Amino acid sequence: MSPDMHDSSPLSPWWKQAVILVMIFGFSLLGLITVKTYQGAPPIPARVVDATGQVVFTGEDVLGGQEVFLKYGLMEHGTLWGHGAYLGPDYTAEYLHRLAEIGRDTLARSRFGRAYKELADGQTLEVDGALKATLKQNRYDKASDTLTFTESESAAYRTQVGEWTTYFAGAKAAPGLPSKFIRDEGELQRLTAYFAWATWATVALRPGTDYSYTNNWPYEPLVGNTPTASAYLWSALSLVTLLGGLGVILFVFGKFNYLGWGGTTGWKQAPAGTLHHWTLTPSQKALGLYFAVVALLFLAQTALGGVLAHYRVEPGAFYGFDLASILPFNLARTWHLQLAIFWIATAWVAGGLFLAPLVGGAEPKGQKTGVLILLGALTIVVFGSLFGEMAGINGKLGQFWFWFGHQGSEYLDLGRFWQVLLAVGLIFWLFLMFRALRPAMRGTEQGELPSLFLYAAVAIPLFYVPAMFYGPHTNFAVIDNWRFWIIHLWVEGFFELFATVLVAVMFYQLGLVTAKSATRLVYLDAILYLTGGILGTGHHWYFTGQSTLNMGLAACFSSLEVVPLTLLTLDAWDFIRLQDQACEDCDKPLAAKQRWAIKFFIAVGVWNFVGAGVFGFLINLPIVSYFEMGTTLTPNHGHAAMFGVFGMLALAVLIFCLRALKSDAVWNRSEKFIKVGFWGLNIGLGLMILLDLFPGGVLQLWDVMTHGYWHARRLSYLMGGTYHTLEWVRISADLIFLFSGAVPIALAVFRLVFTRDPTEAG
């Protein structure tokens, strides 16, 4: 007999204590890694001088170049240290390859009086060896805060000032950007200085080691950049950790067979849920407006995805139209990513506000007013930040670009002012959640579930705070550290944990699980996700100025992230059982009404395993990440995990709430659009991956290993051969996703929200 048969017994305190211990352990080590990031970040010298002592550029030039890089949103065009967008080149890899070519010629002329290509075989070997030795030597002097460039490095910098000026300011536009995008010569000089510094960090040896500040990334044999021994070692050990973790968790699940949504008791042990007899409150009815905003943002985000995909096949035109002059690639990608976060977060925020009165048992006075105020505030943040990013990229905000324009960090592009407003809005949302949940937190009927609901909500504004911990002059290694505290810990960690609580509360309110089962599931997911997820954040930092301590910890703990994702296949099967049994075997007709929300939950389980589990683990191994980072295998994982998991989950929440808000008569007129949209989204996403993202990513990975990272990131590779053909073929998948998926879903939402329900009085 399952423990749930006697659900009145309290849940063991070890569940809560285990979560606390996991968080203390994880954040202690993650804090240590962050401290070491500050200590070990590649230094920005006060001055860079040539062999004669003449100043080439200064530290102020480097920081000024970083401002240019961020202000114009260049991280949403190309990548730096492998992170960013994928239409432009990796600026450091491209600079490094040109440094190798120019350096070889410089050394050849210095030693033999002729160009490198004119040398005999023995002479080329001598030059190649000398180039590697000179570039690997770290000539930074900490006492004088001076970096000395060799003759080759100085010549490469002078040459590349002209080359990058032509790239960004020439009559022939850079791919996806307007012609003469950056016109100021001083900005272009400083930008090149920034690229030169960032590239120096990729090749110069970190003091006391035999590898560079970026652990020898990118792969560039011409300068001796090849994988480190640590990349091989920790990749192997991470596989051992994964197998060990899977073995332990499968043993535990086999022994304690009441773990999981259904357990040994099926779905019949739970009492009738509150939602069966609940009368909708004014604030819950007002939440329909949130879901209309979600649908609008989702539609816009999907359309922008189509624009980005077309830039990948015709970067110079949109069916003959110069789209880049109006909507350049870096702005379109900024909006695409920002809108994804906005609509998904808005759906989850609205879901929390819908469920809170149900859990609390009553609607606090003035809750509807608070809900509408929050909606207005979120609308200001969304549209204010989007227009600010457009103005910032186009140089319309002057010195205020960082605060009101484009902050320049991928996923955190919105200006600091909008970030602050967003944080204030989330705190106000937390206040609304607290006042609705407070009555239930005093009672015992629902156990710890109301408190867990609030704690999960607290984590949302709390873990957004690191977005404020850097500025435009912060060392890029430190910026990327805090950036992934948000991308990984906030989005993939605590927002996902909040979503787990949402699902648990939904099922409890439907009467499908007991409070004890729901609470245990929340604790279990928290333990499994956070054990690997907190330190797993570091798999983004393998090659961004971190030490090998991070590589070792991140590789092993990141592999453990696959363990709960593997178990999600059991969740998917539980949800299938739920939709089959709820209507036929138990007296819970409301579960049958929520069959489309349950289908989206099934999709979440499947995509979490495929997108986050299989594709995520594929690129998280250090040795794979070394060659793969910034190739199409990254968006392959990103699309399957970001939309397949977070997007599908947000749509499940949206559909759950709208179904509860609307009568059968109104719902039945729109259900067919939900059905079409569900299959259109899943088929479209699946075809994106099968037709292009995965095979194209494998081809690009092979090219990196064959010709070097710089080659696979150049436009000449992207626009040629089988890779380019696959990009064209993908358009069919994009059209299915947009017109058979997003459009029907949005249409259904608009019809449900704005169609008057005849059952409502007044």
Closest-CA residue to 99 (of 710, 714, 712): 710
The 10s digit of each residue's pLDDT in 235-265 is 999 999 988 988 887 777 666 666 665 554 4
The residue with greater pLDDT, 513 or 636, is: 636
Please name the residue that has the structure tokens 């791919």.
175
Tell me the one-letter amino acid at 382: V
What is the model's pLDDT at position 91?
A: 98
Coil, strand or helix: which one is 333?
A: helix
Span 313-327, mean pLDDT? 88
Strand partners, 406: 414
Closest-CA residue to 224 (of 159, 155, 152, 130): 130
Pairing verdict, β 146-148 and 47-49: parallel
- Cβ contacts of residue 133 below 8 Å, gap of 6+? none
Q: Count Cβ atoms below 10 Å from residue 260 Cβ, excluding itself.
A: 18
What is the model's pLDDT at position 444?
A: 67
- Cβ contacts of residue 478 below 8 Å, gap of 6+? 37, 38, 41, 470
Cα-based angle 179, 180, 185 (whole degrees, multiple of 5): 165
- Report d(CA 388, CA 246) in Å as an integer: 47
Closest-CA residue to 221 (of 104, 138, 122): 104
- Report d(CA 42, CA 739) in Å as an integer: 47
Cis peptide before 439 (omega within 30 of 0): no
Question: Do residues 678 and 596 lie in contact, with contact meaning Cβ atoms separated by under 8 Å?
Answer: yes
Does pLDDT of 111 surpass 80?
yes
Cis peptide before 13 (omega within 30 of 0): no
Coil, strand or helix: which one is 8?
A: coil
Span 513-541, mean pLDDT? 87
What is the model's pLDDT at position 55?
A: 97
Mean predicted lDDT score pLDDT of the chain: 90
Helices (H) and strands (E) in the chain, counts: 32, 8
What is the model's pLDDT at position 445?
A: 65
User: Please, what are the domains in the chain?
Assistant: 3-32+231-252+279-754 (1.20.210.10), 46-226 (no CATH)
The 10s digit of each residue's pLDDT in 652-710 is 999 999 999 988 889 999 999 999 999 999 999 999 999 999 999 999 999 999 999 99
What is the model's pLDDT at position 637?
A: 94
Span 86-112, mean pLDDT? 96
Q: Which two tokens stand for residue 374?
A: 């929050």
4-13, 83-92, 500-509, 668-677: least confidently modelled range: 4-13
The 10s digit of each residue's pLDDT in 480-517 is 999 999 988 887 778 778 888 888 888 888 777 778 87
Does pLDDT of 583 surpass 90?
no
25-34, 363-372, 500-509, 529-538: least confidently modelled range: 500-509
Q: Count Cβ atoms below 10 Å from residue 50 Cβ, excluding itself.
A: 17
- Report d(CA 101, CA 152) in Å as an integer: 10
Span 641-657, mean pLDDT? 92
Strand partners, 587: none
What is the model's pLDDT at position 579?
A: 58
Closest-CA residue to 633 (of 675, 677, 575, 695): 695
Q: Count Cβ atoms below 10 Å from residue 580 Cβ, excluding itself.
A: 11
Question: Do residues 491 and 345 lie in contact, with contact meaning Cβ atoms separated by under 8 Å?
Answer: no
Does pLDDT of 432 surpass 80?
yes
Q: Count Cβ atoms below 10 Å from residue 402 Cβ, excluding itself.
A: 20
Closest-CA residue to 88 (of 324, 319, 300): 324
What is the model's pLDDT at position 336?
A: 97
32-36, 127-131, 317-321: least confidently modelled range: 317-321
Cα-based angle 592, 596, 598 (whole degrees, multiple of 5): 75
What is the model's pLDDT at position 633?
A: 96
- Report d(CA 297, CA 651) in Å as an integer: 12
- Report d(CA 64, CA 399) in Å as an integer: 12
Does pLDDT of 80 surpass 60?
yes
- Report d(CA 357, CA 349) in Å as an integer: 14
- Report d(CA 574, CA 326) in Å as an integer: 48
Distances (CA, A) of 250 to 191, 247, 351, 523: 52, 5, 32, 17
What is the model's pLDDT at position 286?
A: 95
Question: Do residues 59 and 46 lie in contact, with contact meaning Cβ atoms separated by under 8 Å?
Answer: yes
pLDDT category of residue 3 using cuts at 50, 70 and 90:
very low
Q: Which two tokens stand for residue 571?
A: 């969740």
124-128, 150-154, 487-491: least confidently modelled range: 487-491
Does pLDDT of 584 surpass 50?
no
Coil, strand or helix: which one is 55?
A: strand
Question: DSSP character for 646?
Answer: I
What is the model's pLDDT at position 589?
A: 52
The residue with greater pLDDT, 536 or 517, is: 536
pLDDT category of residue 762 using cuts at 50, 70 and 90:
very low
What is the model's pLDDT at position 8?
A: 56
Rounded to 10°, the helix 288-311/329-360 angle is 160
Question: Do residues 674 and 597 lie in contact, with contact meaning Cβ atoms separated by under 8 Å?
Answer: no
The residue with greater pLDDT, 741 or 274, is: 741
Distances (CA, A) of 413 to 67, 338, 467, 480, 644: 13, 8, 11, 13, 23
Does pLDDT of 38 surpass 70?
yes
Q: Which two tokens stand for residue 660?
A: 């509860």
> What's the length of the chain?
762
What is the model's pLDDT at position 500?
A: 83
160-164, 440-444, 614-618, 673-677: least confidently modelled range: 440-444
- Report d(CA 414, CA 338) in Å as an integer: 8
pTM of the complete model beyond 0.85: yes
What is the model's pLDDT at position 585?
A: 43
